[in-house]
Structure 1
Protein backbone atom coordinates (compact mmCIF):
# COMPACT_ATOMS: atom_id res chain seq x y z
CA UNK A 1 0.00 0.00 0.00
CA UNK A 2 1.54 3.28 -1.10
CA UNK A 3 1.81 6.33 1.15
CA UNK A 4 0.26 8.43 -1.61
CA UNK A 5 -2.86 6.25 -1.64
CA UNK A 6 -3.18 6.52 2.15
CA UNK A 7 -3.19 10.30 1.73
CA UNK A 8 -5.95 9.94 -0.88
CA UNK A 9 -7.93 7.77 1.52
CA UNK A 10 -7.59 10.32 4.33
CA UNK A 11 -8.73 13.13 2.06
CA UNK A 12 -11.93 11.23 1.21
CA UNK A 13 -12.49 10.36 4.88
CA UNK A 14 -12.07 14.04 5.76
CA UNK A 15 -14.23 15.48 2.97
CA UNK A 16 -16.83 12.65 3.03
CA UNK A 17 -17.25 13.31 -0.67
CA UNK A 18 -15.32 11.99 -3.70
CA UNK A 19 -15.67 15.17 -5.75
CA UNK A 20 -14.53 17.46 -2.93
CA UNK A 21 -11.60 15.17 -2.09
CA UNK A 22 -10.55 14.94 -5.75
CA UNK A 23 -10.61 18.73 -6.01
CA UNK A 24 -8.46 19.15 -2.88
CA UNK A 25 -5.98 16.59 -4.24
CA UNK A 26 -5.98 18.08 -7.77
CA UNK A 27 -7.07 14.72 -9.21
CA UNK A 28 -9.90 13.75 -11.50
CA UNK A 29 -12.84 12.05 -9.80
CA UNK A 30 -12.50 8.82 -11.87
CA UNK A 31 -8.79 8.57 -10.99
CA UNK A 32 -9.49 8.93 -7.28
CA UNK A 33 -12.40 6.48 -7.41
CA UNK A 34 -10.20 3.91 -9.12
CA UNK A 35 -7.42 4.31 -6.53
CA UNK A 36 -9.91 3.77 -3.69
CA UNK A 37 -11.40 0.72 -5.39
CA UNK A 38 -7.90 -0.73 -5.88
CA UNK A 39 -7.21 -0.18 -2.16
CA UNK A 40 -10.38 -2.03 -1.17
CA UNK A 41 -9.50 -4.87 -3.55
CA UNK A 42 -5.97 -5.07 -2.12
CA UNK A 43 -7.26 -5.28 1.44
CA UNK A 44 -10.27 -7.41 0.47
CA UNK A 45 -12.42 -5.17 2.69
CA UNK A 46 -15.09 -2.56 2.08
CA UNK A 47 -13.80 0.74 3.46
CA UNK A 48 -16.60 3.11 2.44
CA UNK A 49 -20.38 3.18 2.44
CA UNK A 50 -21.23 5.26 -0.62
CA UNK A 51 -24.40 7.27 -0.11
CA UNK A 52 -26.08 9.59 -2.58
CA UNK A 53 -24.52 12.71 -1.06
CA UNK A 54 -22.05 11.56 1.56
CA UNK A 55 -19.46 8.84 2.00
CA UNK A 56 -19.05 7.26 5.43
CA UNK A 57 -16.45 4.82 6.71
CA UNK A 58 -17.12 1.21 7.55
CA UNK A 59 -15.66 -0.24 10.76
CA UNK A 60 -12.62 -1.39 8.77
CA UNK A 61 -12.41 2.07 7.20
CA UNK A 62 -12.37 3.75 10.62
CA UNK A 63 -9.55 1.46 11.71
CA UNK A 64 -7.57 2.24 8.56
CA UNK A 65 -8.14 5.97 9.06
CA UNK A 66 -6.68 5.80 12.56
CA UNK A 67 -3.64 3.83 11.39
CA UNK A 68 -3.16 5.95 8.28
CA UNK A 69 -3.10 9.14 10.37
CA UNK A 70 -0.45 7.59 12.62
CA UNK A 71 1.63 6.52 9.60
CA UNK A 72 1.46 9.95 7.97
CA UNK A 73 2.34 11.66 11.27
CA UNK A 74 5.33 9.36 11.73
CA UNK A 75 6.53 9.95 8.17
CA UNK A 76 6.24 13.72 8.59
CA UNK A 77 8.07 13.55 11.91
CA UNK A 78 10.88 11.50 10.34
CA UNK A 79 11.20 13.88 7.40
CA UNK A 80 11.50 16.86 9.73
CA UNK A 81 14.15 15.08 11.82
CA UNK A 82 16.22 14.21 8.76
CA UNK A 83 15.88 17.74 7.36
CA UNK A 84 17.13 19.14 10.67
CA UNK A 85 20.07 16.73 10.95
CA UNK A 86 22.75 19.09 9.61
CA UNK A 87 25.49 20.72 11.61
CA UNK A 88 23.16 22.96 13.61
CA UNK A 89 20.86 21.95 16.47
CA UNK A 90 17.26 22.35 15.30
CA UNK A 91 14.09 20.36 14.91
CA UNK A 92 10.95 19.24 16.68
CA UNK A 93 10.46 17.49 20.01
CA UNK A 94 7.17 15.72 20.65
CA UNK A 95 5.98 15.17 24.22
CA UNK A 96 2.84 13.38 25.41
CA UNK A 97 1.49 14.05 28.89
CA UNK A 98 -1.44 13.71 31.20
CA UNK A 99 -2.71 16.72 33.07
CA UNK A 100 -0.18 17.70 35.72
CA UNK A 101 1.42 20.88 37.00
CA UNK A 102 4.77 19.11 36.50
CA UNK A 103 4.60 20.22 32.85
CA UNK A 104 6.09 23.42 34.29
CA UNK A 105 9.35 21.53 34.78
CA UNK A 106 9.30 20.31 31.19
CA UNK A 107 8.71 23.91 30.08
CA UNK A 108 11.59 25.05 32.30
CA UNK A 109 13.95 22.64 30.54
CA UNK A 110 12.72 23.90 27.16
CA UNK A 111 13.18 27.51 28.23
CA UNK A 112 16.71 26.77 29.42
CA UNK A 113 17.57 25.44 25.95
CA UNK A 114 15.85 28.22 24.05
CA UNK A 115 18.58 30.84 24.38
CA UNK A 116 21.26 28.50 23.03
CA UNK A 117 19.10 26.56 20.54
CA UNK A 118 16.25 28.83 19.37
CA UNK A 119 15.38 26.57 16.43
CA UNK A 120 14.18 23.67 18.56
CA UNK A 121 10.38 23.53 18.64
CA UNK A 122 8.22 21.68 21.16
CA UNK A 123 4.87 19.98 20.62
CA UNK A 124 2.89 18.76 23.64
CA UNK A 125 -0.17 16.54 23.25
CA UNK A 126 -2.52 15.68 26.10
CA UNK A 127 -3.83 12.23 26.95
CA UNK A 128 -4.08 9.67 29.70
CA UNK A 129 -1.39 7.05 30.40
CA UNK A 130 -2.82 4.65 27.80
CA UNK A 131 -2.70 7.32 25.07
CA UNK A 132 0.80 8.47 26.00
CA UNK A 133 2.23 4.94 26.13
CA UNK A 134 0.61 3.99 22.82
CA UNK A 135 1.99 7.05 21.03
CA UNK A 136 5.41 6.52 22.60
CA UNK A 137 5.53 2.87 21.54
CA UNK A 138 4.61 3.80 17.97
CA UNK A 139 7.28 6.48 17.75
CA UNK A 140 4.77 9.32 17.38
CA UNK A 141 6.26 11.15 20.38
CA UNK A 142 9.78 11.31 21.80
CA UNK A 143 9.01 11.65 25.51
CA UNK A 144 6.06 10.86 27.74
CA UNK A 145 5.09 12.18 31.16
CA UNK A 146 3.52 9.36 33.19
CA UNK A 147 2.05 9.54 36.67
CA UNK A 148 2.35 6.69 39.15
CA UNK A 149 1.42 3.90 39.12
CA UNK A 150 3.04 3.40 35.72
CA UNK A 151 4.67 0.39 34.10
CA UNK A 152 8.19 1.66 33.42
CA UNK A 153 9.70 -1.72 32.54
CA UNK A 154 9.90 -1.03 28.80
CA UNK A 155 11.15 2.54 29.14
CA UNK A 156 14.11 4.50 30.38
CA UNK A 157 12.87 7.13 32.79
CA UNK A 158 13.71 10.14 34.89
CA UNK A 159 11.93 10.78 38.18
CA UNK A 160 10.83 14.39 38.59
CA UNK A 161 11.51 16.05 41.96
CA UNK A 162 7.83 16.85 42.58
CA UNK A 163 4.66 14.98 43.44
CA UNK A 164 1.04 15.59 42.61
CA UNK A 165 -1.48 15.71 45.43
CA UNK A 166 -4.92 14.12 45.18
CA UNK A 167 -7.95 15.98 46.43
CA UNK A 168 -11.50 17.02 45.65
CA UNK A 169 -12.57 19.89 43.41
CA UNK A 170 -15.88 21.39 44.53
CA UNK A 171 -17.98 24.50 44.51
CA UNK A 172 -17.12 26.98 47.26
CA UNK A 173 -20.73 26.79 48.44
CA UNK A 174 -20.76 22.96 48.56
CA UNK A 175 -21.39 21.32 51.99
CA UNK A 176 -17.91 19.73 52.02
CA UNK A 177 -16.20 23.06 51.35
CA UNK A 178 -16.20 23.80 55.09
CA UNK A 179 -13.77 20.89 55.66
CA UNK A 180 -10.01 21.54 55.68
CA UNK A 181 -9.45 18.10 54.14
CA UNK A 182 -11.61 15.27 52.87
CA UNK A 183 -11.81 11.79 54.43
CA UNK A 184 -13.03 8.67 52.58
CA UNK A 185 -16.32 8.49 54.46
CA UNK A 186 -17.11 12.08 53.42
CA UNK A 187 -17.46 10.88 49.82
CA UNK A 188 -19.21 7.54 50.13
CA UNK A 189 -22.70 8.93 49.51
CA UNK A 190 -21.84 12.01 47.48
CA UNK A 191 -22.18 12.32 43.67
CA UNK A 192 -18.65 11.86 42.32
CA UNK A 193 -16.95 12.86 39.07
CA UNK A 194 -13.87 10.71 38.51
CA UNK A 195 -11.10 10.41 35.96
CA UNK A 196 -11.82 7.54 33.58
CA UNK A 197 -8.37 6.12 34.39
CA UNK A 198 -8.32 6.68 38.15
CA UNK A 199 -10.62 3.82 39.15
CA UNK A 200 -8.72 1.35 36.94
CA UNK A 201 -5.70 1.51 39.26
CA UNK A 202 -5.41 0.54 42.88
CA UNK A 203 -4.47 3.80 44.58
CA UNK A 204 -7.79 5.63 44.59
CA UNK A 205 -10.06 2.63 45.35
CA UNK A 206 -7.76 1.66 48.22
CA UNK A 207 -7.92 5.17 49.64
CA UNK A 208 -11.72 5.29 49.29
CA UNK A 209 -12.04 1.80 50.82
CA UNK A 210 -14.89 1.19 48.37
CA UNK A 211 -15.22 -0.51 45.02
CA UNK A 212 -16.52 1.44 42.03
CA UNK A 213 -19.94 -0.22 42.29
CA UNK A 214 -20.33 0.97 45.89
CA UNK A 215 -19.85 4.64 44.99
CA UNK A 216 -22.22 7.18 43.48
CA UNK A 217 -20.21 7.97 40.33
CA UNK A 218 -22.36 10.31 38.27
CA UNK A 219 -19.78 11.17 35.59
CA UNK A 220 -16.24 10.53 34.37
CA UNK A 221 -13.74 12.77 32.61
CA UNK A 222 -10.50 12.42 30.69
CA UNK A 223 -9.52 16.11 30.84
CA UNK A 224 -10.10 17.88 34.13
CA UNK A 225 -11.16 21.15 32.53
CA UNK A 226 -14.31 19.41 31.31
CA UNK A 227 -14.72 17.82 34.74
CA UNK A 228 -14.43 21.23 36.38
CA UNK A 229 -17.30 22.58 34.28
CA UNK A 230 -19.48 19.73 35.54
CA UNK A 231 -18.47 20.60 39.10
CA UNK A 232 -19.21 24.27 38.51
CA UNK A 233 -22.68 23.38 37.27
CA UNK A 234 -23.33 21.46 40.49
CA UNK A 235 -23.24 17.92 39.10
CA UNK A 236 -20.95 16.59 41.83
CA UNK A 237 -17.50 16.50 43.42
CA UNK A 238 -14.46 15.79 41.20
CA UNK A 239 -11.64 13.63 42.49
CA UNK A 240 -8.51 15.02 40.87
CA UNK A 241 -4.97 16.24 41.41
CA UNK A 242 -4.11 19.75 42.55
CA UNK A 243 -2.81 22.77 40.61
CA UNK A 244 -4.54 22.03 37.31
CA UNK A 245 -7.65 24.14 37.75
CA UNK A 246 -7.21 27.68 39.06
CA UNK A 247 -9.36 28.06 42.19
CA UNK A 248 -8.08 31.46 43.27
CA UNK A 249 -9.72 34.88 43.06
CA UNK A 250 -13.23 34.96 41.65
CA UNK A 251 -13.34 31.23 40.84
CA UNK A 252 -16.51 29.49 42.04
CA UNK A 253 -14.43 26.41 42.89
CA UNK A 254 -12.09 25.29 45.64
CA UNK A 255 -9.76 22.32 46.15
CA UNK A 256 -9.53 20.25 49.34
CA UNK A 257 -6.74 17.68 49.80
CA UNK A 258 -7.46 14.10 50.79
CA UNK A 259 -6.78 12.86 54.30
CA UNK A 260 -4.88 10.60 54.74
CA UNK A 261 -2.75 12.51 52.23
CA UNK A 262 -2.45 10.84 48.83
CA UNK A 263 0.51 11.75 46.60
CA UNK A 264 1.73 10.36 43.29
CA UNK A 265 5.16 10.49 41.67
CA UNK A 266 5.81 11.73 38.14
CA UNK A 267 8.15 10.30 35.51
CA UNK A 268 9.51 11.45 32.17
CA UNK A 269 9.96 8.34 30.02
CA UNK A 270 11.36 7.42 26.62
CA UNK A 271 11.78 4.17 24.75
CA UNK A 272 14.77 2.02 25.61
CA UNK A 273 17.49 2.18 22.96
CA UNK A 274 15.76 5.25 21.53
CA UNK A 275 17.70 6.99 18.76
CA UNK A 276 17.16 10.70 19.32
CA UNK A 277 17.66 13.56 16.90
CA UNK A 278 20.27 16.12 17.91
CA UNK A 279 17.48 18.28 19.31
CA UNK A 280 16.06 15.36 21.31
CA UNK A 281 19.51 14.50 22.67
CA UNK A 282 20.08 18.08 23.85
CA UNK A 283 16.66 18.16 25.49
CA UNK A 284 17.32 14.89 27.34
CA UNK A 285 20.69 16.21 28.50
CA UNK A 286 18.99 19.33 29.83
CA UNK A 287 16.35 17.25 31.66
CA UNK A 288 19.09 15.16 33.30
CA UNK A 289 21.05 18.25 34.22
CA UNK A 290 18.09 19.97 35.85
CA UNK A 291 16.38 17.03 37.53
Structure 2
Protein backbone atom coordinates (compact mmCIF):
# COMPACT_ATOMS: atom_id res chain seq x y z
CA UNK A 1 0.00 0.00 0.00
CA UNK A 2 1.51 3.29 -1.12
CA UNK A 3 1.63 6.31 1.18
CA UNK A 4 0.13 8.31 -1.71
CA UNK A 5 -3.08 6.25 -1.44
CA UNK A 6 -3.23 6.86 2.32
CA UNK A 7 -2.99 10.59 1.69
CA UNK A 8 -5.77 10.37 -0.93
CA UNK A 9 -8.00 8.51 1.51
CA UNK A 10 -7.45 11.06 4.30
CA UNK A 11 -8.38 13.98 2.05
CA UNK A 12 -11.57 12.21 0.95
CA UNK A 13 -12.39 11.37 4.57
CA UNK A 14 -11.94 15.01 5.52
CA UNK A 15 -14.04 16.51 2.69
CA UNK A 16 -16.65 13.71 2.40
CA UNK A 17 -16.73 14.56 -1.31
CA UNK A 18 -14.81 13.03 -4.21
CA UNK A 19 -15.04 16.16 -6.36
CA UNK A 20 -13.69 18.52 -3.68
CA UNK A 21 -10.98 16.04 -2.70
CA UNK A 22 -9.90 15.64 -6.34
CA UNK A 23 -9.60 19.41 -6.69
CA UNK A 24 -7.41 19.64 -3.56
CA UNK A 25 -5.23 16.76 -4.77
CA UNK A 26 -5.02 18.08 -8.35
CA UNK A 27 -6.13 14.81 -9.90
CA UNK A 28 -9.23 13.85 -11.84
CA UNK A 29 -12.39 12.70 -10.11
CA UNK A 30 -12.50 9.31 -11.89
CA UNK A 31 -8.91 8.62 -10.95
CA UNK A 32 -9.55 9.38 -7.27
CA UNK A 33 -12.77 7.31 -7.23
CA UNK A 34 -10.91 4.35 -8.70
CA UNK A 35 -8.12 4.68 -6.12
CA UNK A 36 -10.59 4.63 -3.21
CA UNK A 37 -12.44 1.63 -4.66
CA UNK A 38 -9.13 -0.21 -5.15
CA UNK A 39 -8.18 0.59 -1.53
CA UNK A 40 -11.44 -0.91 -0.25
CA UNK A 41 -10.83 -4.01 -2.37
CA UNK A 42 -7.28 -4.33 -1.04
CA UNK A 43 -8.50 -4.07 2.56
CA UNK A 44 -11.56 -6.19 1.76
CA UNK A 45 -13.80 -3.83 3.73
CA UNK A 46 -16.13 -0.90 3.07
CA UNK A 47 -14.62 2.41 4.20
CA UNK A 48 -17.38 4.80 3.03
CA UNK A 49 -21.18 4.83 2.87
CA UNK A 50 -22.17 6.48 -0.42
CA UNK A 51 -25.51 8.32 -0.27
CA UNK A 52 -26.79 11.33 -2.30
CA UNK A 53 -23.38 12.02 -3.79
CA UNK A 54 -21.87 12.33 -0.30
CA UNK A 55 -19.45 10.02 1.45
CA UNK A 56 -19.61 9.12 5.12
CA UNK A 57 -16.99 7.02 6.89
CA UNK A 58 -18.13 3.64 8.15
CA UNK A 59 -16.96 2.42 11.58
CA UNK A 60 -14.14 0.60 9.79
CA UNK A 61 -13.41 3.79 7.85
CA UNK A 62 -13.10 5.82 11.08
CA UNK A 63 -10.66 3.27 12.52
CA UNK A 64 -8.63 3.22 9.30
CA UNK A 65 -8.55 7.04 9.29
CA UNK A 66 -6.96 6.99 12.76
CA UNK A 67 -4.43 4.33 11.75
CA UNK A 68 -3.57 5.97 8.44
CA UNK A 69 -2.96 9.29 10.20
CA UNK A 70 -0.66 7.59 12.71
CA UNK A 71 1.25 5.71 9.99
CA UNK A 72 1.92 8.84 7.99
CA UNK A 73 3.00 10.73 11.12
CA UNK A 74 5.44 7.94 12.06
CA UNK A 75 6.86 7.84 8.55
CA UNK A 76 7.38 11.60 8.62
CA UNK A 77 9.02 11.39 12.05
CA UNK A 78 11.36 8.63 10.88
CA UNK A 79 12.24 10.63 7.78
CA UNK A 80 12.97 13.74 9.87
CA UNK A 81 15.16 11.78 12.31
CA UNK A 82 17.14 10.14 9.51
CA UNK A 83 17.85 13.50 7.93
CA UNK A 84 18.77 14.98 11.32
CA UNK A 85 21.35 12.23 11.80
CA UNK A 86 22.96 13.16 8.54
CA UNK A 87 22.77 16.91 8.88
CA UNK A 88 22.71 17.67 12.57
CA UNK A 89 23.19 15.51 15.66
CA UNK A 90 20.48 15.90 18.29
CA UNK A 91 19.45 14.04 21.44
CA UNK A 92 19.83 13.86 25.22
CA UNK A 93 22.41 11.87 27.19
CA UNK A 94 21.89 11.11 30.88
CA UNK A 95 25.23 10.96 32.70
CA UNK A 96 25.81 10.11 36.35
CA UNK A 97 28.99 10.64 38.33
CA UNK A 98 30.26 10.56 41.87
CA UNK A 99 32.13 13.60 43.19
CA UNK A 100 35.64 12.70 42.06
CA UNK A 101 38.44 13.68 39.70
CA UNK A 102 36.28 12.22 36.93
CA UNK A 103 33.72 15.02 37.44
CA UNK A 104 35.81 17.96 36.14
CA UNK A 105 37.34 15.74 33.45
CA UNK A 106 33.91 14.80 32.10
CA UNK A 107 32.75 18.43 32.38
CA UNK A 108 35.57 19.49 30.06
CA UNK A 109 34.68 16.74 27.58
CA UNK A 110 31.00 17.71 27.60
CA UNK A 111 31.88 21.35 26.92
CA UNK A 112 34.19 20.41 24.06
CA UNK A 113 31.65 17.95 22.61
CA UNK A 114 28.83 20.53 22.68
CA UNK A 115 31.01 22.98 20.79
CA UNK A 116 30.79 20.52 17.90
CA UNK A 117 27.24 19.29 18.56
CA UNK A 118 25.31 22.12 20.29
CA UNK A 119 21.95 20.37 19.91
CA UNK A 120 22.94 17.44 22.12
CA UNK A 121 21.93 18.08 25.74
CA UNK A 122 23.00 16.32 28.94
CA UNK A 123 21.06 15.34 32.06
CA UNK A 124 23.59 15.17 34.93
CA UNK A 125 23.15 13.10 38.10
CA UNK A 126 25.19 12.79 41.33
CA UNK A 127 25.41 9.68 43.48
CA UNK A 128 27.63 7.05 45.02
CA UNK A 129 28.53 3.83 43.21
CA UNK A 130 25.47 1.90 44.40
CA UNK A 131 23.05 4.64 43.35
CA UNK A 132 24.75 5.12 39.98
CA UNK A 133 24.75 1.41 39.19
CA UNK A 134 21.08 1.12 40.05
CA UNK A 135 20.24 4.13 37.87
CA UNK A 136 22.25 2.61 35.04
CA UNK A 137 20.50 -0.76 35.39
CA UNK A 138 17.09 0.90 35.47
CA UNK A 139 17.83 3.02 32.40
CA UNK A 140 17.68 6.32 34.28
CA UNK A 141 21.28 6.98 33.28
CA UNK A 142 22.83 6.15 29.91
CA UNK A 143 26.39 6.50 31.19
CA UNK A 144 27.98 6.61 34.65
CA UNK A 145 31.45 7.37 35.96
CA UNK A 146 32.44 4.67 38.45
CA UNK A 147 35.49 3.81 40.53
CA UNK A 148 37.22 0.59 39.53
CA UNK A 149 36.67 -2.29 39.59
CA UNK A 150 33.46 -2.65 37.58
CA UNK A 151 31.50 -5.75 36.62
CA UNK A 152 33.00 -6.56 33.21
CA UNK A 153 30.31 -9.18 32.53
CA UNK A 154 27.56 -6.61 33.02
CA UNK A 155 28.92 -3.32 31.65
CA UNK A 156 30.95 -1.95 28.79
CA UNK A 157 33.39 0.73 29.88
CA UNK A 158 36.18 3.08 28.90
CA UNK A 159 39.08 3.61 31.30
CA UNK A 160 39.41 7.34 31.95
CA UNK A 161 42.86 8.94 32.25
CA UNK A 162 42.29 10.02 35.86
CA UNK A 163 43.21 8.39 39.17
CA UNK A 164 41.76 8.67 42.66
CA UNK A 165 44.16 8.76 45.62
CA UNK A 166 42.76 7.66 48.99
CA UNK A 167 43.45 9.45 52.25
CA UNK A 168 41.93 11.67 54.94
CA UNK A 169 40.12 14.96 54.47
CA UNK A 170 40.38 17.31 57.46
CA UNK A 171 40.40 20.96 58.46
CA UNK A 172 43.71 22.81 58.37
CA UNK A 173 43.41 23.25 62.13
CA UNK A 174 43.49 19.48 62.70
CA UNK A 175 46.56 18.06 64.51
CA UNK A 176 47.49 15.93 61.46
CA UNK A 177 47.08 18.74 58.93
CA UNK A 178 50.85 19.24 58.51
CA UNK A 179 51.59 15.57 57.93
CA UNK A 180 52.61 14.30 54.48
CA UNK A 181 51.06 10.86 54.99
CA UNK A 182 48.68 9.05 57.32
CA UNK A 183 49.18 5.46 58.55
CA UNK A 184 46.76 2.87 59.91
CA UNK A 185 48.08 3.55 63.43
CA UNK A 186 46.90 7.14 63.01
CA UNK A 187 43.45 5.98 61.91
CA UNK A 188 42.89 3.98 65.09
CA UNK A 189 43.19 7.20 67.14
CA UNK A 190 40.85 9.43 65.11
CA UNK A 191 37.06 10.09 65.05
CA UNK A 192 36.20 9.06 61.49
CA UNK A 193 33.53 9.59 58.88
CA UNK A 194 33.57 6.62 56.50
CA UNK A 195 32.00 5.88 53.09
CA UNK A 196 28.61 4.18 53.39
CA UNK A 197 29.56 1.47 50.88
CA UNK A 198 31.13 -1.48 52.68
CA UNK A 199 32.99 -2.55 49.52
CA UNK A 200 34.98 0.70 49.63
CA UNK A 201 35.77 0.36 53.33
CA UNK A 202 36.87 -3.24 52.79
CA UNK A 203 39.09 -2.37 49.85
CA UNK A 204 40.89 0.39 51.75
CA UNK A 205 41.20 -1.87 54.80
CA UNK A 206 42.84 -4.59 52.71
CA UNK A 207 45.47 -2.18 51.41
CA UNK A 208 46.26 -0.70 54.83
CA UNK A 209 45.78 -4.01 56.71
CA UNK A 210 43.23 -2.29 58.93
CA UNK A 211 41.26 -3.90 61.71
CA UNK A 212 37.91 -2.14 61.23
CA UNK A 213 36.73 -3.14 64.71
CA UNK A 214 39.35 -0.78 66.18
CA UNK A 215 38.15 2.28 64.25
CA UNK A 216 36.24 5.07 65.96
CA UNK A 217 33.45 5.54 63.41
CA UNK A 218 31.26 8.58 64.16
CA UNK A 219 29.26 8.60 60.89
CA UNK A 220 28.95 7.07 57.41
CA UNK A 221 27.88 8.96 54.30
CA UNK A 222 27.00 8.25 50.67
CA UNK A 223 27.71 11.72 49.26
CA UNK A 224 30.58 13.97 50.37
CA UNK A 225 28.52 17.13 50.85
CA UNK A 226 27.14 16.02 54.21
CA UNK A 227 30.53 14.73 55.33
CA UNK A 228 32.22 18.05 54.54
CA UNK A 229 29.47 19.99 56.32
CA UNK A 230 29.98 17.84 59.42
CA UNK A 231 33.74 18.16 59.14
CA UNK A 232 33.60 21.96 59.16
CA UNK A 233 31.79 21.88 62.51
CA UNK A 234 33.78 19.16 64.27
CA UNK A 235 37.20 17.64 64.75
CA UNK A 236 36.31 14.61 62.61
CA UNK A 237 38.30 13.14 59.72
CA UNK A 238 36.75 11.92 56.45
CA UNK A 239 38.12 8.83 54.72
CA UNK A 240 37.72 9.70 51.05
CA UNK A 241 39.44 10.33 47.71
CA UNK A 242 41.47 13.38 46.70
CA UNK A 243 38.90 14.12 44.00
CA UNK A 244 36.40 15.14 46.70
CA UNK A 245 38.89 17.65 48.11
CA UNK A 246 39.67 18.96 44.60
CA UNK A 247 35.97 19.49 43.84
CA UNK A 248 35.13 21.50 46.97
CA UNK A 249 37.89 24.13 46.62
CA UNK A 250 37.62 24.95 50.31
CA UNK A 251 40.73 26.76 51.63
CA UNK A 252 39.91 25.68 55.20
CA UNK A 253 40.38 21.98 54.30
CA UNK A 254 43.35 19.81 53.42
CA UNK A 255 43.88 16.26 52.20
CA UNK A 256 46.57 13.84 53.46
CA UNK A 257 47.17 10.58 51.52
CA UNK A 258 47.62 7.14 53.08
CA UNK A 259 50.87 5.28 53.56
CA UNK A 260 51.04 2.82 51.86
CA UNK A 261 49.55 4.71 48.95
CA UNK A 262 46.16 3.58 47.70
CA UNK A 263 44.81 4.77 44.33
CA UNK A 264 41.89 3.76 42.14
CA UNK A 265 41.01 4.33 38.49
CA UNK A 266 37.80 5.81 37.07
CA UNK A 267 35.78 4.35 34.21
CA UNK A 268 32.89 5.50 32.05
CA UNK A 269 30.40 2.61 31.96
CA UNK A 270 27.22 1.74 30.06
CA UNK A 271 24.94 -1.28 29.87
CA UNK A 272 25.72 -4.21 27.62
CA UNK A 273 23.14 -5.47 25.10
CA UNK A 274 21.43 -2.12 24.73
CA UNK A 275 20.78 -0.04 21.61
CA UNK A 276 22.74 3.21 21.71
CA UNK A 277 21.28 6.44 20.39
CA UNK A 278 23.17 8.32 17.68
CA UNK A 279 24.10 11.00 20.21
CA UNK A 280 25.44 8.44 22.68
CA UNK A 281 27.43 6.60 19.99
CA UNK A 282 29.00 9.85 18.86
CA UNK A 283 29.80 10.92 22.42
CA UNK A 284 31.45 7.59 23.28
CA UNK A 285 33.49 7.81 20.10
CA UNK A 286 34.48 11.35 21.03
CA UNK A 287 35.47 10.35 24.59
CA UNK A 288 37.52 7.41 23.33
CA UNK A 289 39.37 9.64 20.86
CA UNK A 290 40.10 12.16 23.61
CA UNK A 291 41.43 9.39 25.86
CA UNK A 292 43.67 8.05 23.08
CA UNK A 293 44.96 11.54 22.36
CA UNK A 294 45.80 12.17 26.01
CA UNK A 295 47.52 8.78 26.23
CA UNK A 296 49.76 9.66 23.28
CA UNK A 297 50.86 12.89 24.97
CA UNK A 298 52.09 11.10 28.08
Does the CA-based 8 Å contact 1:196-1:222 persist in structure 2?
yes
| SS of residue matched to 2:124 | strand
Superposed CA deviations along residues 53-101 of structure 1, whole A, max 9, x for unmatched, are xxxxxxxxxxxxxxxxxxxxxxxxxxxxx99945131111001121212
Which residue is 2:236 aligned to? 236
Counterpart of 2:132 in structure 1 is: 132
SS in structure 2 opposite 1:273? coil
**Given the alignment of the two structures, is residue 144 of structure 1 paired with residue 141 of structure 2, yes or no?**
no
Cα contact 1:85–1:277 (8 A) shared by 2? no
CA distance in 1, matches of 2:274, 2:127: 21
Preserved contact between residue 100 and residue 247 of structure 2 (Cα < 8 Å): no
SS of equivalent residue, structure 2 residue 268: strand
Matched-pair contact (CA < 8 Å) for 1:227–1:238: yes
Q: How many residues align?
A: 211
Report if aligned partners of 1:168, 1:237 keep a CA contact under 8 Å in 2. Answer: yes
Residue 163 of structure 2 aligns to a residue whose secondary structure is strand
Which of 96-105 and 185-194 deviates more? Answer: 96-105
Match of 1:195 in 2: 195
Cα distance in 1 for residues equivalent to 2:79 and 2:277: 11
What TM-score do the two structures reach when normalised by structure 1?
A: 0.67
- The unaligned stretches of length 5 or more in structure 2 are 1-77, 292-298
**Aligned-partner Cα distance in 2 for 1:250–1:149:** 29
Q: Which runs of 5+ in 1 are unaligned?
A: 1-81
2:132 is paired with a residue of what secondary structure? helix
Q: Is the 8 A contact 1:199 1:212 kept in 2?
A: no
Moved more, 117-126 or 209-218: 209-218
Taking the aligned partners of 2:170 and 2:79, their CA distance within structure 1 comes to: 49
Structure 2 counterpart SS, 1:169: strand
**Change beyond 3 A, Cα 1:236–1:83:** farther
- Is the contact made by 1:85 and 1:278 (CA closer than 8 Å) also made in structure 2? no
| Secondary structure in 2 matching 1:175 | coil
Change (3 A) 1:84 1:165: farther
- Alignment-derived partner of residue 11 in structure 2: none
RMSD of aligned C-alpha atoms? 2.4
1:154-208: CA deviations, max 9, x gaps? Answer: 1111001121111111111111112111111111121001110155553211234
8 Å contact 1:247–1:255 — kept in the other structure? no
Asked if 2 retains the 8 angstrom alpha-carbon contact of 1:247 and 1:253, the reply is: no
* Deviation readout 1:75-132 (Å, 9 max, x if unpaired): xxxxxxx999451311110011212121222222222221221011111111111111
C-alpha contact (below 8 Å) 1:109/1:283 kept by paired residues:
no
Does structure 2 conserve the Cα–Cα contact (< 8 Å) formed by 1:228 and 1:245?
A: no
Q: Distance in 1 between matches of 2:250 and 2:228?
A: 15
> What is aligned with 2:118?
118
- 1:244: how far off? 2.3
Q: Contact 1:184–1:207 (CA<8 Å) still a contact in 2?
A: no
Q: Which has the larger radius of gyration?
A: 2
CA change 1:138–1:260 in 2 (3 A) is: same
